[in-house]
Amino acid sequence: MDIPATMKAVVLEEPRRLVVRELPVPEIGPHEILIKVGACAMCGSDLEAYWGMHPSVKRYPVVLGHEFAGTVVAAGPRVSRYKVGDRICHTGSRTCGECEACRRGDYANCPNRQGIGFSTNGAYAEYVAALGDDFYSYPLPAHLSMAQGALAQPFGIGYHAATARAKAKAGETIVVQGCGPIGLSAMMAARLSGATLISTDKLDYRLAMAKRLGADHVINVAKEDAVAITRQLTGGRGVDTVIECVGDGQDETLLQACQMLRKAGRIVVVGSYARDAATIGIITFKFGEMEMFGSQSFPEGYAPLIELIGSGKVDVLPMMTHRVGLDAVPDAMQMLEEKRDNVIKVVIEP
């Protein structure tokens, strides 16, 4: 397969400065693969990096992009999982390939492990290099599009929160705070259990998307009393679980979560915050014997996500409100920042 010497990429040269550049195509080590990017979804974490606020972005310039799918165009001799021509989705890392852990194939414990799109260049580009035998990668079936492969990653964040952390089940009433891609994904995953789902947000167009994707009730917290409505919907009892997917304004969302919960209810925190502190209703929390759980990534891996998407039980494509090429990425980042044009998820197709 012919591989060019250079490629187009979108480079974050410093906070708030995205520039389209021509870069060398990445070289790969014997344990790595080179992927021709078919689709890369733009993430809220990318927006944090753009602002200069993401803790994993420690150097500039850097190419963002960690939710992607593509075709393997080169594979090192130590790669056993993939071969040239394979279609895959990936959100993993690069490792040094030289330390003791790498030499024995224990790539997860490489002390030099770097996250793609954060500490090493990512998939806002025509090509990206990645660890070949990475747990956070998976074959993409032929009947699924590259966009579906890229969107599997954010769905995985919501899936883990709803199933492993919230333990959603039939008969429960669950509130999902936030109708961005992660909140919508958590709502869709929780809905599979048979629970009743209430989605909240401040933007009507996002609430409309939640309703379209299966939320039983939606509440605009900027216009309505979410606590009063959830109490009314549960006969005064309160909801069983609140899954927080806003990732900002935690002094507001977590306080509200405590007020919506029943006694012995649970809060699952998925949102990412710029500030390492939050306010909760500690008296309500304590006397109600409530629980709070963190939720990070998707340790279940891609397999259950691809099964659900591939079977049609979950449709992630409606979240993709915009599709752009690399040249349009700087403008798309501003659109995400301003939440204009009814944007929910932007997918880059290089």
Amino acid identity of 262? R
* Residue 311 belongs to a domain: no
Sequence-distant (≥ 6) Cβ neighbours of residue 314 within 8 angstroms: 155, 188, 189, 192, 308
Pair 119, 184 in one domain = no
Looking at the 3D structure of the chain, how many domains does it have? 2
**Closest by CA position to 31, among listed 71, 73, 66, 75:** 75
* Residue 180 belongs to a domain: yes
Distance CA 174, CA 15 (A): 37
| pLDDT for 105 | 83
Alpha-helix residue ranges (DSSP H) falling in 133-277:
146-160, 181-191, 204-212, 226-233, 250-260
Pair 180, 274 in one domain = yes
* Residue 308 belongs to a domain: no
Distance CA 67, CA 82 (A): 18
Parallel, antiparallel or unpaired: strands 32-41 and 127-131: antiparallel
Pair 329, 232 in one domain = no
Pair 158, 290 in one domain = yes
| pLDDT for 177 | 98
Pair 218, 288 in one domain = yes
- Average pLDDT of every residue of the chain: 95
* Residue 132 belongs to a domain: yes
For residues 309 and 277, which has the higher predicted lDDT (pLDDT)?
A: 309
Q: Is the pLDDT of residue 251 over 90?
A: no
| pLDDT for 272 | 82
pTM of the model: 0.95
Pair 89, 212 in one domain = no
Convert the pLDDT of each residue in 253-270 to its tens digit: 999 999 999 999 999 999
Pair 66, 158 in one domain = no
CATH number of the CATH domain containing 271: 3.40.50.720
Pair 120, 42 in one domain = yes
Mean pLDDT of 292-318: 96
Q: Is the pLDDT of residue 168 over 90?
A: yes
Convert the pLDDT of each residue in 333-347 to its tens digit: 999 999 999 999 999
* Residue 301 belongs to a domain: no
* Residue 220 belongs to a domain: yes
Q: Is the pLDDT of residue 273 over 80?
A: no
Q: Is the pLDDT of residue 247 over 90?
A: no
Q: Is the peptide bond before 181 cis (omega within 30 degrees of 0)?
A: no
Pair 287, 339 in one domain = no
**DSSP for 237-276?**
S-EEEEEE---S-HHHHHHHHHHHEEEEEEEEE----SSS
Convert the pLDDT of each residue in 207-228 to its tens digit: 999 999 999 999 999 999 999 9
Q: Which domain holds residue 277?
A: 154-294
User: In percent, how much of the chain has pLDDT > 90?
Assistant: 86
* Residue 290 belongs to a domain: yes
Pair 178, 278 in one domain = yes
Pair 92, 177 in one domain = no
Mean pLDDT of 120-138: 95
Strand partners, 315: none
Pair 87, 175 in one domain = no
* Residue 307 belongs to a domain: no
**Burial (CB count <10 Å: 0-12, 13-18, 19+), residue 231:** middle
* 300: its two tokens: 């279940």
Cα separations in angstroms, 116 against 65, 123, 237, 301: 7, 8, 45, 16
CA angle 145, 210, 47 (to 5 degrees): 70
Confidence of residue 97 (pLDDT cuts 50, 70, 90): confident
| pLDDT for 331 | 98
CATH number of the CATH domain containing 114: 3.90.180.10
